[in-house]
Amino acid sequence: MTNPENYIKVIKGDITKIKVDAIVNAANTHLAGGGGVDGAIHKAGGKTILEECREIIKRDGCCIPGNAVITNAGDLPAKYVIHAVGPVWQGGNSGEKTLLESAYLSSLRIAEKHGLKSVSFPNISTGVYSFPKEQAAVIAINTVKRFLENLDFEMNIIFVCFDDLNYSLYIRMLELMD
């Protein structure tokens, strides 16, 4: 794709309300549901999502940080949920940046494999997992941009920010890209 920035948007809101081919969840290694965006997705999507997560865990054992898996989206307006596991921030010297990049890339590769045309991301790892928001935003935007540059079909990406700081960081960084 040329000009990937034309396919990247940022909005402030609740990702469970977004009608896209797939929303990404900030999950944990057990795909067990939890708080934050994970809790909101399972609450709004209903039990079929957790049922499919349990089948995946039974088959694979766990979903390690940096990886992602896809499930149904239950009652959500999206068609699929891609569950990505970001790193827990431990000070920055434990491979957190690479793992966060990998969580975004794994999600994007799954979307590519399924031919998905629109994907929404939350700000993975910036809540309970405490990844510094500015560093996380740089990684998220650069990883998505590079991926789209090399993609041979058009995919729209929406960053759905829930808090004011993430929203203002993304707005600023995406304007800088122009």
Residues identified as active-site: 38
> Shortest approach of ligand AR6 to residue 130 CB, angstroms?
7
> Shortest approach of ligand AR6 to residue 116 CB, angstroms?
19
Contacts of 55 (CB under 8 A, 6+ apart): none
Interface pattern 126-145 for ligand AR6 (x via CB under 6 A): xxxx----------------
What is the SS3 assignment for 159?
Answer: strand
Cβ-based nearer residue to ligand AR6, 38 or 52: 38
Interface stretch with ligand AR6, choices 25-33, 61-69, 106-114, 140-148 (CB under 6 A): 25-33
Q: Residue 167: how many CB atoms within 10 A of its CB?
A: 18
Q: Which two tokens stand for residue 25?
A: 């969840």
Q: Are 15 and 40 in contact (CB under 8 A)?
A: yes
Q: The dihedral of CA 32, 64, 90, 158: what is its sign? A: negative
Select the residue interacting with ligand AR6 from 6, 35, 61, 149 (CB under 6 A): 35
Binders of ligand AR6 in range 96-125 (CB under 6 A): 122-125
- The reply to whether 89 sits near ligand AR6 by the rule CB under 6 A is no
Distance CA 64, CA 127 (A): 18
Cβ-based nearer residue to ligand AR6, 14 or 151: 14
Distance CA 2, CA 35 (A): 38
Binding site for ligand AR6 (CB under 6 A): 14-16, 26-28, 34-38, 40, 86, 122-129, 160, 162-163, 166
